[in-house]
């Protein structure tokens, strides 16, 4: 239960904790019910944001705290059902969509309450002008909430996947692969002991996955990253609520039973799905929903791969097939990824997936030619991977004359056939990547690593292209690691004086990042994520060289993620961005009408007089001015309606109590893009235009429809010029 501070310390407070103002109206003090705080998640945002102020001065919070989420319930809890309380709502207020209760602030200005000297509204207005809470604060909080759920979702998926894998591969097949740093094993390395299980288990896993996906959520098929990208570009960030749950189970079945797939796609779609769900429940805009979708994907990837920065970069970089990045989503993605990473580590502890040898490093200019050649090798292998992946889907599985439900089972059977001779291709293969990093040539000789590159490409294509559920990041790491290991050992054999054994092992790590960068078009993500996952930044330079050459020069014409678009201008999410160029060339002075009558309200005007002025005006927004006719606030018709709900306050309520401040204004020299952005961020339809030399002197108002009309006229004129 929250508590409203009693006013017993003030001269006009009686022994019951009930204060009286100079007008004789009673201010009742009661206990604030906490049930209202659960009415909407925006209440959580309010409580967290105002908690420091509440600890310092509870009366200040009652005076100024936005409580749009519980409305009359809070008013009655704080002041009683029959008291004069002014609920003031305005889009100009902090948060853009919350209601503030200014009555106590009004009372505090009255003589006898002992707080006249405390500049309540001045302090709050100053804080609002310094910190951009309405522009980004709400989204950051929601991103943190998405990060918590993404971290928990990653933990559930991790546990479920490990359980299925231990049962299917360990108990049924008798297969125990090498351990990775983050995945220790209690069993010695052992090849499968039951050949029939190698064929049967992936087949059953594919059959269960196919039935689950195509019965309940067909969009959960394949590698989920494309589903997340599609939702961002073409579906306004909307992902059905059931998709994350179906994706979690289907991916655990596919990967756990030996399917050649990874975790990044499922966890990206799981986190993105919750971001979409939260945005829908809170009725956020399409753009905010898209931001939370990316935040969810970043959180999931950052948590399960122990790479918070890499996860954030992945979500904003994977959307585009070029070097474009969704810069607007970087902060929400970083917040979500850090929170999810922290939640995951609280449950499982901090440990990187791979242990890179301490002696691997970049030794200077002499090694660069070999890395440049290796970039070409990665590009060739990347093209073969993408070509095989989509041709297996389009020319094999899509043409099979059988129901879709059974196709993942056929894919699983084909993986089992490969695994009879090469069990390394099953599941993610993290343990075998670790063996390559360690340079264990006894288990991974040069020729075997080269064969595994081809086998893993085929196994991954059979698993995912058939409709199985899983990601392509882990298989890409495996292919890149084996490719790098084979290339490094070949260089060590041919040039032993130039390439030592430790330098040969360095190609494993560089191959992981360079190969994935080329096939996924994510150079920054690849080099950062591989460094985070291995706990080593010694090879950043060769990672940069191979990744950038591969992406910028050699692999521009193909990508593993077919839902990627080339650039921001090709994304439906940015369809209206070209409007900026038109509006930026038009100034406010060309649109607003200074001759139009302007209704301003003196700040000391009582409520009855305000109602009379408003009734005689055709305006919707009313600037409030002081005795020097300088702007001190603004209120809207919505504020008037809210004031009437409070059972009336008579002359006690002044225009200054109705007004919200500080006021966002425009000058005649501002362009219409600035004006439209203000309308959008504040969710308002009108804004004051002020004198540039005196920002508190109102000279007129500009309306949203005037901005839209100006844009329409400009486009019509442009069309007429093109016809001529």
Reported as a single tens digit per residue, the pLDDT across 492-537 is 999 888 888 888 899 999 999 999 999 999 999 999 999 999 988 9
Reported as a single tens digit per residue, the pLDDT across 131-154 is 665 556 788 999 999 999 999 999
Comparing 724 with 605, the larger pLDDT belongs to 605
Reported as a single tens digit per residue, the pLDDT across 190-248 is 889 999 999 999 999 999 999 999 999 888 887 788 889 999 998 889 999 899 899 99
Reported as a single tens digit per residue, the pLDDT across 322-345 is 888 998 899 999 999 999 999 999
Comparing 112 with 639, the larger pLDDT belongs to 639
Question: Over 156-224, what HEC string results?
Answer: HHHHHHHHHHHHHHHHHHCCECCCECCECCCCCCECCCCHHHHHHHHHHHHHHHHHHHHHHCHHHCECH
Are 281 and 288 a contacting pair, CB within 8 Å?
Answer: no
> Residue 609: pLDDT above 80?
yes
> Residue 56: pLDDT above 50?
no
| Model pLDDT, residue 424 | 94
Q: For residues 269 and 232, what is the distance between their CA atoms, to the nearest angstrom?
A: 11
| Model pLDDT, residue 39 | 40
Q: Which two tokens stand for residue 86?
A: 């002014």
Give me the mean pLDDT over the 103-118 stretch: 43
| Model pLDDT, residue 138 | 82
CA distances from 361 to 38, 45, 100, 672 (A): 54, 47, 59, 53
| Model pLDDT, residue 132 | 60
Q: For residues 497 and 499, what is the distance between their CA atoms, to the nearest angstrom?
A: 6
- DSSP reduced 3-state for 690: strand
User: Which DSSP state fits 39?
Assistant: S
Q: For residues 265 and 225, what is the distance between their CA atoms, to the nearest angstrom?
A: 5
> Which residues face 73 on adjacent strands?
none
Burial (CB < 10 A; 0-12, 13-18, 19+), residue 216, is middle
Reported as a single tens digit per residue, the pLDDT across 655-665 is 888 888 888 89
- DSSP reduced 3-state for 72: helix
> Residue 474: pLDDT above 50?
yes
**In which band, very low, low, confident or very high, does the pLDDT at 129 lie, cut at 50, 70 and 90?**
low
Are 51 and 63 a contacting pair, CB within 8 Å?
Answer: no
Question: Over 708-721, what HEC string results?
Answer: HHHHHHHHHHHHHH
Half-sphere exposure of 28 (CA within 13 A, CB side): 15
Instruction: Give the pTM.
Output: 0.70
Comparing 5 with 528, the larger pLDDT belongs to 528
Nearest to 93 by CA among 123, 119, 68, 57: 68
Q: For residues 329 and 142, what is the distance between their CA atoms, to the nearest angstrom?
A: 13
Q: For residues 211 and 226, what is the distance between their CA atoms, to the nearest angstrom?
A: 21
> Residue 113: pLDDT above 90?
no
Give me the mean pLDDT over the 473-491 stretch: 94
| Model pLDDT, residue 417 | 96
Nearest to 652 by CA among 665, 662, 643, 661: 643
Cα-Cα-Cα-Cα dihedral sign, residues 183, 187, 190, 193: negative
Backbone angles phi, psi at 123, to 5 degrees: -65, -45
Between 12-26, 196-210, 293-307, 528-542, the lowest mean confidence (pLDDT) is in: 12-26
> Residue 654: pLDDT above 80?
yes
| Model pLDDT, residue 99 | 38
**In which band, very low, low, confident or very high, does the pLDDT at 607 lie, cut at 50, 70 and 90?**
confident
Angle formed at CA 48 by CA 42 and CA 49, multiple of 5 degrees: 90
| Model pLDDT, residue 576 | 61
**In which band, very low, low, confident or very high, does the pLDDT at 256 lie, cut at 50, 70 and 90?**
very high
Q: For residues 56 and 79, what is the distance between their CA atoms, to the nearest angstrom?
A: 21
Comparing 274 with 32, the larger pLDDT belongs to 274
Q: How far apart are the first and last CA of the chain?
A: 72
The single residue listed with the structure tokens 């975790």 is 263
**In which band, very low, low, confident or very high, does the pLDDT at 93 lie, cut at 50, 70 and 90?**
very low
Are 227 and 270 a contacting pair, CB within 8 Å?
Answer: no
> Residue 17: pLDDT above 90?
no
Which of 511-515, 633-637, 685-689 has the highest mean predicted lDDT (pLDDT)?
511-515
User: Which DSSP state fits 354?
Assistant: -
**In which band, very low, low, confident or very high, does the pLDDT at 1 lie, cut at 50, 70 and 90?**
very low
> Residue 12: pLDDT above 60?
no
Query: Taking all residues of the chain, what is their mean pLDDT, rounded to a whole number?
Result: 80
Q: For residues 550 and 371, what is the distance between their CA atoms, to the nearest angstrom?
A: 11
| Model pLDDT, residue 592 | 84
Give me the mean pLDDT over the 457-485 stretch: 94
User: Which DSSP state fits 652?
Assistant: G
Percentage of the chain lying above the pLDDT 90 cut: 45
């Amino acid at each position: 239960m929250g508590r409203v501070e009693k006013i017993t310390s003030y001269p006009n407070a009686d022994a019951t904790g009930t204060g009286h103002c100079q007008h004789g109206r009673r201010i009742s003090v009661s206990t604030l019910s906490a049930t209202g705080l659960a009415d909407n998640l925006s209440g959580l945002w309010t409580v967290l944001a105002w908690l420091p102020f509440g600890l310092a001065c509870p009366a200040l919070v009652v005076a100024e705290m936005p409580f749009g989420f519980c409305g009359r319930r809070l008013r009655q809890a704080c002041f009683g059902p029959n008291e004069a309380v002014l609920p003031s709502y305005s889009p100009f207020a902090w948060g853009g969509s919350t209601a503030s209760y200014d009555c106590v602030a009004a009372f505090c200005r009255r003589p006898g309450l002992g707080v006249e000297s405390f500049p309540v509204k001045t302090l709050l207005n100053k804080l609002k002008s310094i910190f951009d809470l309405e522009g980004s604060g709400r989204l950051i909080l929601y991103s943190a909430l998405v990060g918590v759920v993404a971290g928990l979702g990653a933990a559930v998926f991790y546990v479920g996947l490990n359980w299925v894998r231990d049962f299917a591969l360990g108990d049924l097949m008798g297969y125990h692969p090498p351990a990775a740093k983050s995945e220790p094993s209690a069993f010695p390395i052992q090849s499968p002991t039951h050949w029939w299980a190698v064929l049967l288990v992936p087949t059953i896993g594919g059959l269960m996955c196919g039935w689950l996906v195509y019965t309940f959520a067909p969009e959960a098929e394949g590698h989920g990253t494309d589903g997340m990208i599609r939702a961002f570009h073409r579906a306004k960030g909307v992902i059905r609520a059931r998709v994350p749950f179906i994706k979690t189970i289907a991916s655990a079945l596919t990967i756990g039973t030996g399917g050649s797939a990874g975790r990044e796609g499922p966890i990206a779609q799981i986190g993105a799905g919750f971001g979409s769900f939260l945005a829908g429940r809170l009725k956020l805009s399409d753009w905010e929903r898209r931001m939370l979708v990316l935040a969810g994907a970043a959180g999931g990837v950052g948590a399960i791969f122990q790479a918070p920065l890499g996860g954030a970069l992945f979500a904003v970089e994977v959307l585009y097939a070029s070097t474009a990045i969704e810069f607007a989503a970087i902060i929400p993605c970083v917040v979500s990824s850090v929170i999810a990473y922290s939640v995951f580590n609280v449950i499982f502890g901090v440990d990187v997936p791979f242990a890179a040898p301490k002696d691997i490093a970049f030794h200077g200019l002499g090694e660069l030619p070999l890395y440049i050649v290796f970039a070409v090798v990665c590009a060739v292998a990347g093209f073969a991977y993408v070509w095989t992946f989509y041709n297996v889907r389009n020319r094999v599985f899509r043409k099979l004359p059988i129901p879709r439900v059974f196709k993942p089972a056929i894919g699983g059977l084909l993986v089992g056939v490969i695994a009879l001779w090469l069990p390394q291709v099953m599941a993610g293969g993290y343990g075998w990547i670790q063996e390559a990093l360690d340079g264990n040539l006894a288990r991974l000789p040069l020729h075997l690593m080269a064969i595994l590159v081809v086998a893993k490409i085929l196994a991954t294509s059979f698993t995912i292209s058939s409709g199985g559920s899983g990601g392509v990041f882990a298989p890409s790491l495996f292919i890149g690691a084996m490719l790098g290991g084979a290339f490094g050992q070949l260089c060590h054999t041919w040039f032993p004086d130039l390439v030592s054994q430790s330098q040969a092992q360095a190609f494993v790590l560089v191959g992981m990042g360079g190969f994935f960068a080329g096939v996924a078009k994510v150079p920054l993500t690849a080099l950062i994520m591989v460094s985070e996952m291995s706990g080593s930044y010694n090879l950043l330079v060769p990672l940069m060289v191979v990744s950038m050459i591969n992406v910028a020069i050699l692999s521009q014409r193909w990508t593993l993620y077919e839902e990627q678009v080339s650039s921001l201008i090709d994304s439906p999410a940015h369809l209206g961005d070209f409007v900026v160029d038109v509006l930026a060339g038009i100034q406010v002075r060309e649109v607003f009408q200074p001759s139009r009558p302007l209704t301003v309200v003196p700040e000391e005007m009582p409520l009855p007089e305000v109602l009379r002025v408003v009734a005689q005006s055709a305006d919707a927004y009313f600037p409030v001015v002081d005795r020097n006719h300088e702007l001190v606030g603004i209120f809207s018709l919505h504020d008037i309606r809210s004031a009437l709900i409070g059972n009336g306050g008579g002359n006690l309520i002044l225009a200054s109590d109705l007004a919200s401040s500080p006021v966002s204004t425009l000058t005649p020299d501002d362009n219409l893009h600035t004006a439209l952005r203000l309308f959008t961020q504040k969710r308002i339809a009108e804004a004051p235009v002020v004198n540039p030399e005196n920002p508190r002197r109102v000279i007129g108002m500009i309306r949203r429809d005037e901005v839209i009309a100006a844009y329409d006229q400009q486009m019509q004129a442009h069309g007429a010029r093109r016809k001529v």
